[in-house]
Amino acid sequence: MTSVWIAMVAFVESWWLEMTAISLLLLLVSLVAMPFVVAQIPADYFVHRRRHRGGSRVRHRRFAGVIAMLKNGLGLLLLFAGAVMLLTPGPGLVTMLAGLMLANYPGKFRLERWLISRPQLFHMLNRMREQQGEMPLLLPGKLFPDGSVQQRDAEWLAQHRD
């Protein structure tokens, strides 16, 4: 076990500068891209008990499988890179979160709903959406029984219609 730690320390020491540069680059990219990505989430995405699936954007099934494998591979890569960034300067937790959100696995939507119900994260994401001119995200359970949105959100929609 000690030899594994020695090897890991030697690896980090030999690649410290490169890992730091990559971490800082990912930090900049995430700071710029995050508001645009958050603005693409439908406002009522987290309200429903089950994830509602949009229409498939892939025309052929074999491409859907390849895209799913690439997406899951990128998610795992981001998860690993985020773990490495916990030891180096950079957005380790944000990168790990992006990896978790990108990959497909059982319980993913439940995890997303739990995360969005954390007040600090919820308010931060809604500030990003506000800067992009988008309606705030709705919390789980915030629809009336008839499926309509809360009065506050209906008023926001009325004020921001084209």
**Mean pLDDT throughout 26-40?**
79
Q: Is residue 105 part of a domain?
A: yes
User: In which band, very low, low, confident or very high, does the pLDDT at 152 lie, cut at 50, 70 and 90?
Assistant: low
Q: Is residue 81 part of a domain?
A: yes
pTM of the model: 0.60
Mean pLDDT lowest among 26-35, 46-55, 75-84, 123-132: 46-55
User: In which band, very low, low, confident or very high, does the pLDDT at 11 lie, cut at 50, 70 and 90?
Assistant: confident
User: In which band, very low, low, confident or very high, does the pLDDT at 117 lie, cut at 50, 70 and 90?
Assistant: confident
Q: Is residue 131 part of a domain?
A: yes
Q: Is residue 6 part of a domain?
A: no
Which range has highest mean pLDDT (8-22, 66-80, 138-152)? 66-80
Q: Is residue 108 part of a domain?
A: yes
Q: Which domain holds residue 45?
A: 14-50+60-159
* DSSP assignment string, 63-81: HHHHHHHHHHHHHHHHHHH
Q: Is residue 33 part of a domain?
A: yes
Q: Is residue 5 part of a domain?
A: no
Into how many domains does the chain fold? Answer: 1
Q: Is residue 7 part of a domain?
A: no
